[in-house]
Structure 1
Amino acid sequence: MSKRQSQKYKIDRRMGENIWGRPKSPINSRPYGPGQHGQRRKGKTSDFGLQLMAKQKLKGYYGNITEKQFRRIYAEAQRLRGNTAEQLIGLLESRLDAIVYRAKFVPTVFAARQFVNHGHVKVNGRKVNIASFRCKPGDVIEVREKSRQMALVLEALESQERDFIDYVDVDAKAMKATYVRTPDFAEVPYPVRMEPNLVVEFYSS
């Protein structure tokens, strides 16, 4: 299991955006970068800088994905037919931890990875503890029976912080979700503007 050394909210401050849309994010009260130079005026960012920022933001949004893993996902998206940017988003959203997060079984993408790794989730009736497991349309993801009374799960399902989405059909009472289809980029409810086309440019240059 890969470890992310920095705290997740440092990503928000480094990007200058609340990339998960969470009310606790420090960027809500300190809309500038971290460190003693964080409040300095910034010069014009180069094209490469914009591409790098777009890549770091998208990669950071999905939690503990390492650069190696993210590059591998991009390479797979590139091999698929169609628009590479759309395919990249589709592959990221089909990860088991992403679907657990979209189903509101947990409050954050980081909690989703840990929740899966600790064996609290079943896919089509079988326990799966690999966060990067690729789900296919029609797969049924559910919280294991012994884990359904966890405060983390109950609070997340009742939270009004996020809405349910069309491409994951959730039965909150049964704590089951069906991955209906691979979403288009426009359907994914990112709280901030994501630019996967710039990510494609970054890796293509």
Structure 2
Amino acid sequence: MSKRQSAKYKIDRRLGENIWGRPKSPVNKREYGPGQHGQRRKGKLSDFGLQLRAKQKLKGHYGDISEKQFRKTYEEANRRRGDTSENLIGLLESRLDAVVYRAKFVPTIWSARQFINHGHINVNGRRTNIPSYRCKPGDVIEVREKSKQLVIVLEAVQLAERDVPDYIEVDHTKMTAKYGRVPALGDVPYAVQMEPNLVVEYYSR
């Protein structure tokens, strides 16, 4: 098992939830934390504990991005007009790795990051290898010609476990996706309930 895969499953087990809705998640068999005391860790969480858990869950869903990067995203969301929690979701979903993952060009958010790092993606016709690149409505994301027949891409397109959300227009024959609009919380197909309002509370302390 690769480091990425073990990290992915570790997050699921630590949180006790299948946060990507994947059929192979260990949580599908054991809904308790890892280790010999995993089954005993069901005490009532404090307000801080609930806020921390909400942050870990949201941060984990996007490939466990670094705390520094996640906090910067929150601060940007807080500076913008409107609801901070909705802004936070919009900014996270605008990340290039999130768009590539949602478009089903790759099977996981981790593979999306690696795929972009290795130079397999063009944005508006230009090669882009920064996973945190912020897409804007109207941007066209495309798998580069020489990468369209990679096994990882062909397998991801066939995945039945998730659908492409309606704010991304995808043509899997051409391997292109258009980022249509910045989504609201209710538009994002999370496999579990996300609580960005608790994340805002966590950082507002």
TM tier relative to shorter chain: over 0.9
Measured in 2, the distance between the counterparts of 1:183 and 1:6 equals 30
Q: Hey, what's the Cα distance between the residues in 2 that align with 1:58 and 1:172?
A: 28
CA deviation map 1:149-199 (0-9, x unaligned): 001001111111111111000011000000000001100000001000000
8 Å CA contact 2:33, 2:41 repeated in 1: no
How far apart are 1:5 and its partner, in Å?
11
Does 2:129 align with 1:137? no
Residue identity over aligned pairs, in percent, reads 72
Letter in 2 for 1:81: R
- Matched-pair contact (CA < 8 Å) for 1:21–1:191: yes
Corresponding residue of 1:8: 8
Inter-partner Cα distance in structure 2 for 1:11 and 1:161: 19
Q: 2:107 — aligned with what?
A: 107
TM-score by length of 2: 0.96
Quick one: which amino acid aligns to residue 63 of structure 1?
A: G
Residue matched to 2:146: 146
CA distance in structure 2 between the aligned counterparts of 1:25 and 1:33, rounded to whole angstroms: 13
**Which residue in the other structure is 1:162 paired with?**
162
Offset of 1:64 from its aligned partner? 4.0
Partner AA of 1:196 in structure 2 = P
- Number of aligned pairs? 203
Amino acid at match of 2:155: E
Secondary structure class of the residue paired with 1:7? helix
RMSD, matched Cα: 1.4
- Aligned counterparts of 2:189 and 2:165: Cα–Cα separation in 1: 8
SS of 2:199's equivalent in the other structure is helix
Measured in 2, the distance between the counterparts of 1:179 and 1:15 equals: 30
Give the counterpart letter for 2:188 in structure 1.
Answer: V
Which residue matches 2:44?
A: 44
**CA shift at 1:42, angstroms?**
2.1
The alpha-carbon distance between structure 1 residues 18 and 5, as it changes in their structure 2 partners (threshold 3 A), is: closer
- Find the aligned partners of 1:193 and 1:129 in 2 and give their Cα distance: 31
Aligned to 2:75: 75
Partner of 2:96: 96
User: Do the aligned partners of residues 66 and 134 (structure 1) sit closer, same or farther apart at CA in structure 2, a change above 3 Å counting?
Assistant: same
> 2:129, 2:146 → 1: CA distance?
15
TM-score, normalized by length of structure 1?
Answer: 0.96
Q: Which residue number in structure 1 is paired with residue 200 of structure 2?
A: 200
Unaligned stretches of 5+ in structure 1?
none
Per the alignment, residue 173 of structure 2 pairs with: 173
